[in-house]
Amino acid sequence: MSELTLYLPETLQHRLELLAKNEGVPLTSYILYILTKQASLSYTIEVNGPKAIDQQQENFAAYLQQLGKGSDEQIEKILAERDVVESEPDLHPETIAKLKLLIAEQQA
């Protein structure tokens, strides 16, 4: 484990000490918990609200209009030339179903 020295404003240190005391943990453990929680937020899934979803759909429809439509031959050629990759080993159909369920619950 690495060591890091932090210089905190006294008011922040006092607040963190109170929060740690309320949780019944040492200050260093509480700070580590807070930092870990904050860092993990970048790995979470955020569900968009109905307005954001509607806006995304409108943007996508406008984008499709700008693109136009390729012929069936053009589409087949592009699909034949694409790189095919293996699915991630942890991405099972059950995982996808669970994620869809969680997203639906968040939207409800």
Please give the distance of CA 26 from its chain centroid, rounded to a whole number: 30
Tell me, yes or no, whether 62 and 102 share the same domain: yes
- Asked if the structure places residue 72 within a domain, the reply is yes
Is pLDDT of 23 > 90? yes
Supply φ then ψ for residue 86, to 5 degrees: -80, 150
Tell me, yes or no, whether 15 and 63 share the same domain: no
Count CB neighbours of 30 within 10 A: 19
- Asked if the structure places residue 3 within a domain, the reply is no
pLDDT tens column, 41-74: 777 677 788 999 999 999 999 888 888 778 888 8
Q: Which domain holds residue 74?
A: 50-80+92-107
Tell me, yes or no, whether 71 and 96 share the same domain: yes
Provide the domain count of the chain.
Answer: 2
- Over range 74-101, report the average pLDDT: 82
Tell me, yes or no, whether 100 and 76 share the same domain: yes
Does residue 64 or residue 10 have the better pLDDT?
10
- Over range 64-93, report the average pLDDT: 81
Does residue 85 or residue 82 have the better pLDDT?
82
